[in-house]
Each structure stands twice: as C-alpha cells, then as structure tokens.
Amino acid sequence: MKPHYDVAIIGAGPGGSTTASYLAKAGARVLLVDKSNFPRDKTCGDALSPNALKIMGDLGLLDALKKFGYRLNGVRLVAPDGSTMVAPIPPKAGLADYLYIAPRYQLDNLLLQRAIDAGVDFEPNFWVRDVKTEGDGITLHGGGRSTSRHFSARGGVIAVGAAIPLLKKTGLMPPTPKFAVATRAYYENLTGLDDIMEIRFDGAPLPGYGWVFPTSPTSANVGAGFLKKSPSLPTTARGVFDAFLEHGPIKERMANSTCVSAIKSYPLRMDFSTARTFSDRLVLVGEAAGLVNPFTGEGIDYAMESGQIAAQVLIDQLESGDLSFSALRAYDKKLRARFQSVFVWTMRMRNLYMNDWLLNPLIRAANKESYVERTVLEVLLSYRNAIQALSPRTIYHVLRNFF
Ligand SMILES: Cc1cc2nc3c(=O)[nH]c(=O)nc-3n(C[C@H](O)[C@H](O)[C@H](O)COP(=O)(O)OP(=O)(O)OC[C@H]3O[C@@H](n4cnc5c(N)ncnc54)[C@H](O)[C@@H]3O)c2cc1C
C-alpha cells in the first residue's frame, strides 16, 4: 500500500515543528505527532539567541514572538569568585544584537501553529512506541495509553528531544550518551533585574551554572544546571537549584519573590559529536541528535537549524525517490559541516575553563580586555569557533589575570 504521507515527524518541539514548516512550504505531505496536547510546557531557560531569532524571522514569526517574549540586550557573566563581566550582544551582519526570553508554553505552540498553517496534519496525544521501516516506507506505531494506531509515510524525522525510549527501540541510541541536568521555575517580584541575561558560575557546581533570565522588569526564569562528572557532586538538579536560590546575591534579590510555576527538572543531551543522525528512511533532528551546546546548554537554535537542514535534504531525496541509508548520509554530512567542530571545540573549551582556576581569570580578563570580552561572547553565541577561546592571545590575557 502507498504510504499516506511523504514525511512523518515525531515530536512537535522547535526541531519537529520547524522541519514540518519547511517541508510543507516546499509542498510535501507532512504528519506531525506528539505525545502531548498543545499548548504544553517544556522545562527550559527560554532563551532565544540571535541565530534562533534569524530562523524565527525566516518563518515569519518575529512579530508574534515580540507579543509574549521579553527582549534582553546584553549578557552578565559572574565568575566563581564573584568577578563580573557585563557586555552588550555584539553586532554580527544579518543577526539581531539582542536576545529574547520566550516561555516555551507559547513559543512551541507558535511554531506548531505555523506548521499547521503551512498545511501540516497534527496528531496530539500520540505516543510513538516504535517506528518500523517496511518496503518503500515507514510505519509509526503508537497512540494513547490504551489505544493503538498506525501512520505510514515515505520517510520519518525523529525529533523527540532528550527522551531516549524511542531511540533505544529503533537502535538509534548513541554509543555514549552524555546528559547534563537542569531545574527551572518562574518567579515574580524579584529585585535588581535589568535587560541583561545573567549567567552565574558562583552558585552552582562546575561544570554548570545558575541563571536569572528576566521575563519582565520584575519577573524571571530562574534555574541551575550541571554536568555530574564526579560522584562527590550533589546528586540531583533540584539540589543544585535549591542551593543556587540560597546563594547570597540570589537570595537577597529573591527575598520577596513568589514562585508562580512548578519547579521542574529535565535532562539535556549534548553528545552530537558521536551521535547517530540518520538511518534508512529516518533522520534525527535537534536534541534527539545530541544537539545541545556543551558549554551554554543552548538547544533551541540548533533544533531549528537542524530542522531546516533536514527539510532541505528530505525534499531533495523525496524528489529523487531515494530515502535509503546511503542517500540520507547527505544529511549527516551537512549537519557535521555546520556543527561538528562547534561541538568538538566547545567541549574542549568547557573541559579547560569550567573550573575555579581558569574561569575566574577568564572573566576578569574579559572584564578588562575588549578582545577577550568579544571572544567570550562570540564563542558563547556560536559566532566564532571555540578554538578562539584557546588561542595563545586569549590564554596570555587569562594568565595575566591569574592573581
Ligand atoms: C532546564 C533547561 C533549560 C534550558 N534552557 C535553554 C535555553 O535557555 N535556550 C536554549 O536554546 N535551550 C535551552 N535548553 C535546551 C532546549 O530546551 C532543548 O535543547 C530544545 O527544546 C530541543 O528541542 P527539540 O525540538 O529537539 O526537542 P523538545 O523541545 O524536547 O521537543 C520534543 C518533543 O517530542 C515529544 N516526544 C518525545 N517522545 C515522544 C514520543 N515517543 N512520541 C511522541 N512524541 C514524543 C515531546 O512531547 C516534545 O514535545 C534547556 C534545557 C533544559 C532542560
């Protein structure tokens, strides 16, 4: 029997919905399914980088985003010893010189509605339990808790985020998955907020950080996350988050605040450099391909960018009628050309700098030397390869600020 859809996409986060929009815009028949009903929450810091804003613009969603998002114009980095660097978002041709904090409850629904408007069929409350490759297509097997249904398509996109059961079932788990974990909640009535994204290395175990991302002049998304590298570190993200709220400067500013959401924890998968990204008739997009920045935890832009790349490759392959394993290698090639060295070098940078010894002088140097400030910001925003943070010139300034 002929498959019903050209492409079936599993997961309606930023990765799945962006892929769906671009595929439908190019004329493909697309099914998008998610285990949740929308709008739904997603545990996140909600920060959209200039690269993410570029894709939002390309999808025609910037005006809608501005209605619920909150614009931030700079970044504050606080070192473990309290040394602080504050700087505006550096300009880059074609990109905004600001960020947006956009609660995922609204952001993900906006991206989904964009896909539906482009002609995508959306199936909520559909938990995919398995994907089978059969003949000239794939079949999604799943449904609700006690129901079972099937959908067929010529090819598929797995965009399930950090959830791994489906990757295990389909044999697409990476050999060495790497997870960080983070907790966040929304607060009102904080003091001392400005139009700056605050990242603090002084109240959370390294490698990791706590954050205060304002959502208005008096409210914020507050969170903390860490990579559990050593058994001596606290065991849960919630423990790290609770300690961050008790940390002096944060405690003071939150003294009269009210928590207005559930406090939620969720993993972040950051192993793209060794991850599987495709198989016969299937590609993996966003965090399902380990696409979360190992230093910053940014994943929304990477999910959207990989969705854009996946849609281009799938459109070409649908036209040529070849969605085989060897044909879809083209997706892996394009994805690695865009992200492989970002990941390899960002990981090295994290391994070198995410300790008291070097993070303190790095942030002190960034506070004094405009070259270091720009390098740090441009690496964090993925404008420059992290190799720049390891250049002799940067190391020289770091060493000069050691004491
Ligand atoms: C606490 C925290 C803070 C973060 N802060 C930031 C930040 O500030 N900025 C940033 O850029 N990134 C941040 N990230 C990372 C970012 O949230 C993710 O990388 C991003 O959401 C990945 O998008 P995605 O589309 O790949 O997956 P997701 O957004 O996770 O979407 C996956 C979707 O798949 C669905 N799904 C899963 N399994 C199935 C299944 N079997 N069947 C059907 N549906 C399924 C889920 O319901 C979900 O809707 C943060 C992450 C965490 C945990």
Q: Give pLDDT, residue 231.
A: 64
CATH 3.50.50.60 domain span(s) along the chain? 5-42+103-177+270-340
Higher pLDDT, 298 or 384: 298
Q: Above 70 in pLDDT, residue 365?
A: yes
Strands 278-279, 74-78: parallel, antiparallel or unpaired by DSSP? Answer: unpaired
- Domain(s) labelled CATH 3.30.9.100 in the chain stretch across 179-267
**Class of residue 176 by CB neighbours under 10 A (exposed 0-12, middle 13-18, buried 19+):** exposed
Residues in a beta bridge with 75: 87, 197
Atom 41 (ligand 1) nearest CA: 128
The b-or-e profile of 335-345 (16+ CB within 10 A means b, else e) is: beeebeebbbb
Q: Is 46 in the pocket of ligand 1 (CB under 6 A)?
A: yes
CATH domain 5-42+103-177+270-340 topology: FAD/NAD(P)-binding domain (3.50.50)
How do residues 148-164 score in pLDDT, each as one tens digit? 999 999 999 999 999 99
Q: Is the pLDDT of residue 187 over 80?
A: yes
Weakest-pLDDT range from 38-42, 80-84, 194-198, 356-360: 356-360
Rounded distance between C-alpha atoms, residue 382 and residue 360, angstroms:
22
Q: Give, for ligand 1, the residue of 44, 123, 150, 222 to mutate: max count of ligand atoms closer than 8 Å to Cβ.
A: 44
Q: Residues 3, 137: contact at Cβ < 8 Å?
A: yes
Q: What are phi and psi of 99, to 5 degrees?
A: -120, 170
348 by Cβ neighbours in 10 Å (0-12 / 13-18 / 19+) ranks as: middle
Q: Quick one: pLDDT band at residue 72, thresholds 50, 70, 90?
A: very high
Has residue 42 got a pLDDT over 70?
Answer: yes
**What does the pLDDT average to over 336-342?**
94
Residues 100-114 as b or e (16 or more Cβ within 10 Å = b): bbbbbbbbbbbbbbb
Ligand 1 midpoint to CA 266 (Å): 9
* Fold of the domain built from segment(s) 179-267: D-Amino Acid Oxidase; Chain A, domain 2 (3.30.9)
Residue 249 has pLDDT above 70, yes or no: yes
Q: Is 298 close to ligand 1, i.e. is its CB under 6 Å away?
A: yes
Is residue 123 packed enough to be buried (19+ CB in 10 Å), middle (13-18) or exposed (0-12)? middle
Per the CB < 8 A criterion, the answer to whether 17 and 34 are in contact is no
Q: Cα(5) to centroid of ligand 1, in Å?
A: 25
d(CA 366, CA 80): 14
pLDDT given at position 145: 84
Please tell me the pTM assigned to this model.
0.96
Give the start-end residues of each E strand in 25-72: 30-33, 47-48, 70-72
Ligand 1 neighbourhood includes 13 CB (under 6 angstroms) = yes
Q: For residue 120, is pLDDT > 70?
A: yes
DSSP 3-state of 8 = strand
Picking from 109-113, 150-154, 346-350, which range would have the lowest pLDDT averaged per residue? 346-350
